[in-house]
Chain A
Amino acid sequence: MAKKILEIHDLKREFLMGAEIVRALKGVSFSVEEGEFVTIMGASGSGKTTLLNILGCLDKPTEGTYLLDNVDIKELSRNELAQLRNRKIGFVFQAYNLLARTSAKENVELPLLYNSSISTTQRHQMAMKALEAVRLSDRLDHLPNQLSGGQQQRVAIARALVNEPVMILADEATGNLDSRTSYEIMALFQELNKQGRTIVFVTHEPDIASFSSRTIMLKDGKVIKDYRNENVRSAKEVLSSLPVTEDY
């Protein structure tokens, strides 16, 4: 049996909004094994952002347990959580969140700067490797504003890959892109998944979910569906079947 990357059990998260208690998560349990490509789906207000924050170790659950790579995050301090994010998680955001006026290579190197066990030479090598993986080796010195949206997101994915995380956590990573570029990005995710990367992808588009191997549906803070996708679409095939537009 494959190794469990993350395991959550009866996860609850409550917020105090004025005098009212808002229960964003009402007991969520599931686990993700190594090499899975999971999409977490749900409408707004379903609790998926809260769940994402907890999975990303940015927030702690009110109740329940969360084991990431067999580490219980409840026990960890703010600094230890930061270190965990640095070593075990790669974030990909909807708005790319690249540092402006900073080259692609330096953006990719950023997580390694917060890991003092990595030397400068190692850092350069790892950044190059990550950029090769997203096929942007020829854009090293480009600044974010010199790159297209798809290229920026690929830089962001390279940044998520660079520290060899146990899990890539994507938050609506295709939300800001047109459908063609979205498929390109999904093709990249599928490729990375084939290489053995565990990916957790939060989205509200069923179209995107069809590229993953498993989908977890959230509604009102609870899991309403958790199913294996028997018929995984290949983003590459979809891409090639798209009509060639005048731009190309």
Chain B
Amino acid sequence: MKIFNLIRIALRALQRNKLRAFLTMLGIIIGVGAVIAMVAIGQGSKKSIQDQLSSMGSNMITIRPNANVTAGGGARVDASTANLQTLTLDDIKAIQTQAQYVSDVSPAVQGRGQAINGSLNWPTSIQGVSPDFLSIRNWPLKEGVAFGSEDVKGATKVCLLGQTVVDNVFEQGDDPVGKIIRFNKIPFKVIGVLATKGENAFGQDQDDIILAPFTTVQKRILAIPYIQTIYASSSSSETSEAATNELSQILRASHKLTNNQQDDFLVRTQAELISTFSSTSQLLTVLLAAIAGISLLVGGIGIMNIMYVSVTERTKEIGLRMSIGARGVDILMQFLIEAIMISITGGILGVILGLLASKLINVFLSWPTLVSEPSIVLSFVVCAITGIFFGYYPAQKASQLDPIEALRYE
């Protein structure tokens, strides 16, 4: 029989049982819709995490003292202040003179305290850095100017404020640049305001910060000679790994570590962080897709079930068709095409539902969603295969009926 006639017959059969056909499709519709919506949620959150992480400076490399140094015999030495003082200005100098893949490097020391301006005060943290820090973090100024190397050399009491600090220690409309604020009773002159960065991937407010020359923070606030953290940036994202290795080597040499001693520092790149988060959200996507896939499977079983019912119901029709010349393959195709029609129609409606659901989730729950074309194509293909797979057995059963028995079936 010609394919066109087969499709016509299948359509007619479905028309006769509209509600039943729709209910059967519903399994597929929900399955496909769920696959598309779930993958959209997974992809959306993955992308938003990636965006947030790269807002922190995508080439940034962080070096911290390693708190858990294992001593010679393998016994663990507790993290003490002694261990945390391993990074020094000498390390910075070594990096600046030796490293090839590192474009910028900045020491960092951090302290918490109270920022006070007149009657307004705000608990925040101060970070002592070098001028390079702003380019490492990819952080422009909203107004004012950054401090320079003279300020570092002279340990001058100047600072840059994050937007959150400005909002809390200045009246609205007040221009902070040029004003004096106090941090832990030490007066600092505000010379600039940092552009707004928002929350980072961990939900911390990145704008709740004061930046000052590290020498100032070391001497006036913390009274320490060492460095807590080193921030560096690789010259490009491709050289991130080379830069990491290079930094490790330089620091090992600078710290005079022998081959059997472990690193007393920890080098972390932003890229590592991104890939950690990406793999987490990748897992999330896979899990969501798996759940959705199961509902598609259930939908497929629904089709199989209804096709079996349909074959039994229409045994007499099958008998008649066979007696007037339908071959087994004609009957097989008739029922198979009916099953495929159900699954493909369900697939189309499911894609529409999935797109709609992704949009609604985005609008009403403000979750980031990203509809990916492969998920649409994939679920559609899976749908067609589901139809063929689950429609085949009932159709096969129909095609092998004995015409005499089938004609007499009541």
Contacts and interface: CB of A to CB of B under 8 A. Distances in A.
B320 interface: yes
A110 B12 contact: no
Interface string B1-23: 11001000100100010000000
Interface string A91-127: 1010001010110000000110111100000000000
A58 B323 contact: yes
Contact of A58 (B2, B329, B403): B403
Contacts of B328: 78-79, 82
B316 interface: yes
Contacts of A139: none
B327 A114 contact: yes
Given A59-B404, A113-B5, A101 B327 contact: no
B7 to A, nearest CB: 12
Given A58-B403, A97-B407, A110 B323 contact: no
Interface of A: 53, 56, 58-59, 78-79, 82-83, 85-87, 91, 93, 97, 99, 101-102, 110-111, 113-116, 159, 163
Given A78-B328, A99-B317, A91 B323 contact: yes
Kindly name the residue among B2, B324, B403 whose own CB sees the greatest number of chain A CB atoms within 10 A: B324
B325 A87 contact: yes
B353 interface: no
Contact of B325 (A59, A78, A85, A99): A85
B322 interface: yes
A110 B321 contact: yes
Contact of B1 (A59, A87, A97, A114): A114
B324 A111 contact: yes
B407 A82 contact: no
A16 to B, nearest CB: 15
A99 B327 CA distance: 18
Contacts of A86: 324-326
A83 B323 CA distance: 10
Contacts of A78: 327-328
A102 B12 CA distance: 9
A102 B77 CA distance: 88
